[in-house]
Structure 1
Amino acid sequence: MDVAEISMNLSQNKLMSAVGTSMLSKSLDLIEGQVTMLTEGMDMNSPSLESLVYPTSGTAIDLRI
């Protein structure tokens, strides 16, 4: 191996490492956004789907003896 070939191989390895790091960073950003959306969707203060379909369900208690 000559010096030029070694230099070119090191340069390619450095570039591939930079690309891999950049792709990992983008993937982490995407996953963080998905986790945020998931946790917002699981908010316990939001009305349930059933209460949207039947809005009066569970609002009154019928007591008969």
Structure 2
Amino acid sequence: MDIALMSMSLSQGKVRQQASLSVMKMAMGNAKQQGEAVQELISSNNVKALQQVAQPHLGRNIDLKL
């Protein structure tokens, strides 16, 4: 077995693992921020803001019949 090839493979595996962990940490940070924002909305008793977050597509258009 070629030592240089094995060394390169191990190094690439470590780089992939570090990149994967970095992406996971970023995703966890984003999820934590979103959770804190939702918790703040719930505790503020602002019903309209909470409904807008839950269903952002509602209330933007009005159907009119003439």
TM-score per shorter chain, which class?
0.5 to 0.7
| Aligned-pair CA distance for 1:46 | 3.1
Q: Which runs of 4+ in 1 moved over 2 A?
A: 45-49
Q: Please, what TM-score do these two structures have when normalized by structure 1?
A: 0.66
Unaligned runs of 5+ in 1: 50-65
Unaligned runs of 5+ in 2: 49-66
Alignment partner, residue 10 of structure 1: 10
- Higher helix content, 1 or 2: 2
Written as runs of structure 1 = structure 2, the 5 A alignment for 1:18-57 is: 18-43=18-43, 45-49=44-48
SS in 2 for 1:46: coil
Task: State the aligned residue count.
Answer: 48
